[in-house]
Amino acid sequence: MTRIISTLVSLSLSFVAFADEGMWTIDNFPVDAVAEKYDVNVGDDWLRSAQLATTRLENGCTGSFASDSGLVLTNNHCTWSCIRNLSTAERNLSDTGFMARTQTEELQCPGQQISVLVDFEEVSDKVATAIAGKDEADANEARKAELTRLESACEAASDGERSCEAATLYNGGQYFIYEYKRYNDVRLVFAPELDIAAFGGDPDNFNFPRWSLDFSFLRAYEDGEPATTPNYFKWRKAGPSADEAVFITGHPGSTDRSLTVSQLKMQRDVSIPLYLYRYNEFRGRLLAWQHTSPEAARAVQQRILGIENGLKVRRNQLKALQNDEMMAKKVAAEMSLRETINADDEMRAAYGDAWALIDGAMQAYRNMYEEHLFIESGAGFSGSLFGYARTIVRGTVEREKANEDRMRIYTDAALPQREQRLFAPRPINKDYETLSLTFSLDKMREWLGPDSKYVHKVLGNDSPASLATRLVSESELDDPAIRKALWEGGVEAVRASDDPMIQLALAIDPDARALRKRYEDEVEAPRIRGEEKIADARFAVYGTDIYPDATFTLRVTYGSVKGWEEKGEMVDPFTRTSRLFERATGERPFKLPDTWVAA
């Protein structure tokens, strides 16, 4: 480095870093652009070190190693399930916070896993060869089979010491095999009280300044000892300075900048509105239920915050999609690319039908969206117990198939992670399970209609509430030993099981698989083929000086610490602790923990 820079994981930080546009992959970071703008030389050694210091949690979050002994810094909200699973009625860690003063006091998070990307290989040519000359549906099957084969070959080459995952970039323009180091023993080290970790709650969420302490520490263990992690981000007490260049590494979940206009309209007209209808009502039910008992409040206090987070995301997505100016820009950009393609005979022959493929896929999706969502995607069967049941029912069947013929979530490469989640001793709150399942069954009947064959098969003469109550109360899948016995017993043991949740999963699985197959052939296959063609067209026209949409794979972005002007006033890039106390009201979400009041 030509000067000191500050490297930060993608947390809710106490300053603003304006990114210069981009979530770049490690192999395609714009080194020259950074050097020209900031006089910072980002070399391969730095990128490699940052890669190995950045962690991915199995629940969709990013973290970073903060010491050479496996300490991991991450968001507090990324540890909510761990904190909830480790809490009891007598000791609610969300209310009290938690700090292990010695390593012997660190508490293992049930089912948590930390991954570090150690290597990657582009396999686009191999995928292209596997699907060459096939129609969309056959190509879709061949593509999945080839990616499964490549994952298995990768893991075999590492003698089982690494886990390998296929990664799709540029909406099918590139395919990679990512090789990960996994840590399956993850322990909670520190978490502040929820009242300070989420201070400001939904009103302050996605705003700056924000006065919250949204962080926690975990630790990765290996063979019962803290992991050795020589690549880690070092603490700089002074923090960043105004105008300083900063670099953020992380695993952003998903973005949709490469979607076509018809795909965006599908989101605008169908998927996002239905999400908002469902989760606004579910949030209301949880807000009411939390007042029924202290245990109910403990079960949902973090879940409500998580739902509010998702609602705010999608409300703003919908607001953007309903903005005529923004949609007009998207239409114009799409038409410009299509005109460029159509002006060239070779490009028109290769890529010209891409949008028609996606348009047809979106129309097919509109025709089956609700049935696919509630039956195959599981929106009609909310809760951990049915999730376990479906995993057991499907997994035992899929394991009997050749690896390359299985659903991708049950391949040999995917099974260790799935089994860890299945066997983890996570406590189940059956009252919450009943509430959640009742709601989802109710919405399934509402959206599919009482005459739906799926509704008849699931509910029969039951109401959503009575069926959910019976299924949850009689199921024994809250016992990890029973789940493991069924999993290891295979298809025969599952079919012989009298657990009502298993029986429901068995009953609905043929219909759900049929919907899955229809979706794969009519929606997924033409959509992916169209997206691959558009990606290839963009490469041909624009080159690779663009970054791919987020796919929960490792990215690096950069910018500088700056404030901005809003409504005639300057917003300072730094958060002052004194303002926190000015905003405190004594009532949630602006209630401070007693420890902060006392201090």
Helix (H) or strand (E) holding 11: none
CB 482 within 8 A of CB 497: no
Q: For residue 9, what pLDDT band results from cuts at 50, 70 and 90?
A: very low
Lowest mean pLDDT among 33-37, 158-162, 258-262, 515-519: 158-162
* Residue 578, pLDDT score: 86
- Within 10 A of 483 (CB to CB), how many other CB atoms are there? 22
* Residue 19, pLDDT score: 56
For 378-393, write each residue's pLDDT tens digit.
999 999 999 999 999 9
* Residue 197, pLDDT score: 96
Residue 6 pLDDT exceeds 70: no
Domain boundaries, the chain: 6-113+184-255+548-590, 118-180, 379-517
For 314-358, write each residue's pLDDT tens digit.
999 999 999 999 999 999 999 999 999 999 999 999 999 999 999
Query: What sign does the CA torsion over 509, 512, 513, 514 have?
Result: positive
For 42-167, where are the alpha helices, taking DSSP H only? 44-53, 80-86, 93-96, 124-131, 136-157
Top pLDDT among 376 and 578 is at: 376
- Per-residue tokens: 176: 């990679």
Q: For residue 208, what pLDDT band results from cuts at 50, 70 and 90?
A: confident
For 230-264, write each residue's pLDDT tens digit.
999 999 999 899 999 999 999 999 898 899 999 99
* Residue 53, pLDDT score: 98
For the entire predicted model, the pTM comes to 0.91
Q: For residue 15, what pLDDT band results from cuts at 50, 70 and 90?
A: very low
CB 59 within 8 A of CB 78: yes
For 471-491, write each residue's pLDDT tens digit.
999 999 999 999 999 999 999
Query: Helices 415-423 and 384-398, interaxial angle, to 10°?
Result: 140
pLDDT above 90 covers a percentage of the chain that reads 90
- What does the mean pLDDT of the chain come to? 94
- Per-residue tokens: 515: 């919907």
State mean pLDDT over 7-35: 69
Q: In what order do the strands lie in the sheet with 6-9?
A: 6-9, 245-250, 555-561, 17-19
The Cα 104–Cα 598 span in angstroms is: 29
* Residue 50, pLDDT score: 97
Total residues belonging to the chain: 599
- Per-residue tokens: 16: 């603003």
The third-level CATH classification (topology) of the domain covering 6-113+184-255+548-590 is Thrombin, subunit H (2.40.10)
* Dihedral over alpha carbons 326, 327, 328, 334 (to 10 degrees): 120
State mean pLDDT over 186-202: 96
Strands 6-9 and 245-250: parallel
Q: Which residue's structure tokens are 């480790």?
A: 86
